[in-house]
Amino acid sequence: MNEEIVHCEAGVTLLGGGIASAADVAISLTIAPVLVAADGGGDRALALGLTPAAVIGDMDSLSAAGRAALAGRLHPVAEQDSTDFGKCLRLVAARFYLCLGLTGLRLDHTLAALTELTSRPDQIVLLIAEDEVIFRAPPRLCLDLPVGTRVSLHPMGAASGRSTGLRWPIDGLAFAPETRTGTSNEAVGPVELQIDGPMLVLVPKDQLRPVLHALLPPAARGE
């Protein structure tokens, strides 16, 4: 099953059943107003007084009450080779994705979400967690961050890179999950990264808009 279920020329907010504050969801919807739920995220949407355009997943987490309330918006995908998050990213076409409720409740679900994030280099996917916004670094990234902003780098495989604007430059370092990570670095000015390999970037979630601006191509930013 590969047909698009939702098509959006701008951004989509993807909501899972994990931890997502009402304030964070509201902010996301001001940026990406089309709401799609991943399985049990349909219950979370209803609890927030929201009705998603679609609920996608294997439907093993959505409650009976949720199924009844969202009848006509349910899109069951029975295969078990991908997560509900992955199913949404595959079946929803959008310029970018702001993803909430995919972390926090269960560590295995959080790890699966981070893995899914890593495996989508051709999509702009931002995972909004309890304290951070997390995304896969493109080959080149320029971030306009306030001085002192925490910038953490976490390799999801062998990776290397160059940097300007970080308190501790990464030039010449070989990153790998089992040997070297880059947690708790710090911006000392505008940050420029050149990354080779799968690398996640974590910054405080109040930097969501600057991050999205940096990831979107100039035409999408109206430049």
CA-wise closest residue to 17 among 66, 82, 68: 66
All domains of the chain in start order, with CATH = 7-130 (3.40.50.10240), 140-207 (2.60.120.320)
Tokens in use for 123?
Answer: 């999509």
pLDDT for position 1: 47
pTM: 0.93
* Relative orientation angle of helices 107-118 and 84-91, to the nearest 10 degrees: 30
What is the longest distance spanned by two Cα atoms in the chain?
A: 56
Say whether 146 sits in a helix, a strand or coil: coil
Distance CA 45, CA 55 (A): 10
Pairwise CA distance, residues 105 & 72, whole Å: 28
- Give the pair of three-digit tokens for residue 134: 């997390």
User: What is the sign, positive or negative, of the torsion defined by CA atoms of 99, 105, 110, 112?
Assistant: negative
Question: Residue-wise pLDDT tens for the chain (223 aa)?
Answer: 468 899 999 999 999 999 999 999 999 999 999 999 999 999 999 999 999 999 999 998 999 999 999 999 999 998 877 899 999 999 999 999 999 999 887 888 899 999 999 998 999 999 999 999 999 999 999 999 999 999 999 999 999 999 999 999 999 999 999 999 999 999 999 999 999 999 999 999 999 999 999 999 876 665 5
Question: At 97, is the secondary structure helix, strand, or coil?
Answer: strand
Q: Please tell me the distance from the alpha carbon of residue 39 to that of residue 54, in angstroms, as a whole number.
A: 10
